[in-house]
Amino acid sequence: MEARPARITLAAGIASLVGPACAVLPYTSNFTVFPNSFLGDVWLLAAIGAIGVGIGAFAFRKGSKIAGTVCLLTNIPVLAYYGFIAFFFATGGSR
């Protein structure tokens, strides 16, 4: 059996905290990367969620099953929520 690298587990652990932490920042008014662009911030948060899902899937595949699962379970809702909002407004939806 192959030993899992500690760096992959650490990256998955960090990503499982960063995704949800960034997801709640707009509700505390502490997240404005693009000052006049609501859609730019939403796409950035969707990308953060997608990167977190990718890191979680990679960690799960490489042998870090628990850290990968936790990372996936915390970042999938971030990607689903902000991905839906970004796609909705990008295709012409309105408030």
* C-alpha pair distances (Å), 51 with each of 2, 9, 93: 25, 15, 25
Per-residue model confidence as pLDDT tens digits over 25-74:
888 877 777 777 778 888 999 999 999 999 999 999 988 889 999 999 99
- Please answer whether residues 59 and 67 qualify as being in contact, where contact means their C-beta atoms are separated by less than 8 angstroms: yes
pLDDT given at position 63: 82
- Please answer whether residues 15 and 51 qualify as being in contact, where contact means their C-beta atoms are separated by less than 8 angstroms: yes
Q: Which residue has the tokens 């949800």?
A: 20
pLDDT given at position 59: 92
pLDDT given at position 51: 95
Q: How far is CA 67 from the centre of its chain?
A: 15
